[in-house]
A and B are shown apart, each in its own frame.
Chain A
Amino acid sequence: MDIYFFLGKGGTGKTTISASFSVGLSHYNKDSNFLIASLDPAHNLGDAFNIELSNKIKKLTENLSAIEVDLEKMIKEYLNDLSTNLKYTYKYLTSFNLDKYFDVLRYSPGIEENAVLESIKKFLKMNEFDALIFDTPPTGITTRVLALPKLTLIWTKRLMDIRRKILDRRKMIENVKGKTEAIIGDEVITLTADEKEDQIMIELVNYSKEMEDLMKLFQSDLTKINIVTMPEDLALFETKRIIESLNKFNIKVNKIYLNKYLIFDNPPEVIEGKIIEQDRVIEKMREEIKNISIKDIPLLSQSPRGIEDLLKFYDNYILE
Chain B
Amino acid sequence: MKKLFDLLKKIFKGLDIGLREVSTSLIEKELEETENVFALLTMGAFAGIPSPPTGIILRILPYMQREIYVMIARSKNIDDALAEIVGIFSIE
Contacts and interface: CB of A to CB of B under 8 A. Distances in A.
Touch between A and B in complex, CB under 8 Å?
yes
A150 B46 CA distance: 24
Interface stretch (A58-66, A86-94, A216-224, A288-296): A86-94
Interface stretch (B4-12, B56-64, B83-91): B56-64
B65 A152 contact: no
Given A95-B72, A155-B53, A159-B52, A177 B24 contact: yes
Contact of A172 (B24, B45, B66): B24
Interface residues of A, number: 46
A191 B31 CA distance: 13
A184 B60 CA distance: 18
A159 B58 contact: no
Interface string B24-59: 100110110011011001100110000111111111
Decide if the interface of chain B is mainly helix, strand, loop or mixed. helix
B42 to A, nearest CB: 7
A114 B58 contact: yes
A82 B63 CA distance: 11
B7 to A, nearest CB: 24
A93 B55 contact: no
Decide if the interface of chain A is mainly helix, strand, loop or mixed. helix
Given A169-B31, A182-B66, A162 B41 contact: yes
Nearest to B31: A169
Interface in A94-134: 95-96, 101, 104-105, 108, 110-111, 113-114, 117-118
A86 B62 CA distance: 6
B37 to A, nearest CB: 6
Contacts of A117: 55
Nearest to B30: A169
Contacts of A105: 45, 54, 57-58
Interface stretch (A1-9, A16-24, A198-206): A198-206
A108 B44 CA distance: 12
A152 B56 contact: yes
A172 B27 contact: yes
Interface of A: 78, 82, 85-86, 89-90, 92-93, 95-96, 101, 104-105, 108, 110-111, 113-114, 117-118, 148, 151-152, 155-156, 158-159, 162-163, 165-166, 169-170, 172-173, 176-177, 182, 184, 189, 191, 199-200, 203-204, 207
Interface of B: 20-21, 23-24, 27-28, 30-31, 34-35, 37-38, 41-42, 45-46, 51-66, 68-69, 72
Task: List 10 A-B pairs, minimum CB-CB distance, nearest first.
Answer: A155-B52, A169-B31, A110-B54, A199-B63, A114-B55, A114-B54, A152-B53, A203-B59, A200-B63, A203-B60
